[in-house]
Structure 1
């Protein structure tokens, strides 16, 4: 994380991803951004730019520094219900109380990285449930483009 914040940072990361989105939007009708960990926070920040069709962020712990960002597209945030670095329950509560119309927040049993089968924190059932929810979210977003 320290290397990222010193050498890239969230603002530069968002600028880079926004450039890619603009280029890809010329080729594709619908475009979503998904990010894990640091990239989840970048995805969250990209969700306010009105060029994404949907955003998914998984275990974006730094979202806690950007809770006033209001998504302009359907956004799904997935969290583990245990985090060492901060109070995840407080973050989830704050986000839910915002009542942002485009925001869904889900938490699953486990710790940061619970969906990563290579992680010591991998939890098969939680990973399955989270990935199923993500898949349903994506399918809904893609199907709405044909309505």
Structure 2
């Protein structure tokens, strides 16, 4: 039986690498739905930087574009709209977010936000939320989730202590935190912190629908990885 997966991208949007990920998910019987910070009728803004030899400069340029064209709060509203659509189908689904997308998912799925509440009234249909390096989560550590949530942090973040954040997040009984041995952006080939080892280790797990649908199994598999 096919299951729905909502993917919320980082600030680079719909990259060719993300397209390849989606193809692998769909080959494993997953119906994917993609949300990015950018307009669907425009080319991905990140494509401009795929040939940039200075990845740090490219990432900074993409962030400026993200702030200008969308920003964190507007991205949150896009994620809420996508969640509303899936919730209206009255079937279970999985949410996967990266960086800014993961932060938006955390806010949207939380039961503690006071505005735009319609997407948060019933998240029992969300089988699992997996969020990779959501750095904006540092501003929302007091929020608590209504669904099983796995946060995968990088080894460190420049703006907050990952270990302290993890400890606070795990006060919510549905949230588990894992620290990977790489830096923010390790899953994105356009990031200066990209790590091919991360793709090799994590992607087979993420595209296994049984693991993705069962938080404890996925967490155990990640914990048992040999880095």
When normalised by structure 1's length, the TM-score is 0.76
Alpha-carbon distance in structure 2 between the residues aligned to 1:120 and 1:8:
22
2:197 — aligned with what? 125
Secondary structure of 1:41's partner? Answer: helix
Greater mean deviation of Cα atoms: 68-77 or 6-15: 6-15
Alpha-carbon distance in structure 1 between the residues aligned to 2:73 and 2:191:
28
Aligned length: 139
1:106 and 1:26, CA in 2 relative to 1: closer, same or farther beyond 3 A? Answer: same
Equivalent position to 2:155, from 75, 81, 85: 81
- Residue deviations 1:88-117, cap 9 Å, x none? 222223223x1x121111111010111223
1:60 — aligned with what? 134
Greater Rg over alpha carbons, structure: 2
Unaligned runs of 5+ in 1: 142-147
Greater mean deviation of Cα atoms: 77-86 or 132-141: 132-141
Alpha-carbon distance in structure 2 between the residues aligned to 1:68 and 1:118:
32
Secondary structure of 2:182's partner? Answer: strand
Higher relative contact order (CA 8 A, sep 6+): 2
When normalised by structure 2's length, the TM-score is 0.52
2:186 — aligned with what? 114
Greater mean deviation of Cα atoms: 3-12 or 108-117: 3-12
1:124 and 1:71, CA in 2 relative to 1: closer, same or farther beyond 3 A? Answer: same
Task: Calculate the aligned-residue CA RMSD, in Å.
Answer: 2.6
1:105 and 1:137, CA in 2 relative to 1: closer, same or farther beyond 3 A? Answer: farther
Secondary structure of 1:81's partner? Answer: coil
Unaligned runs of 5+ in 2: 1-62, 111-119, 216-227
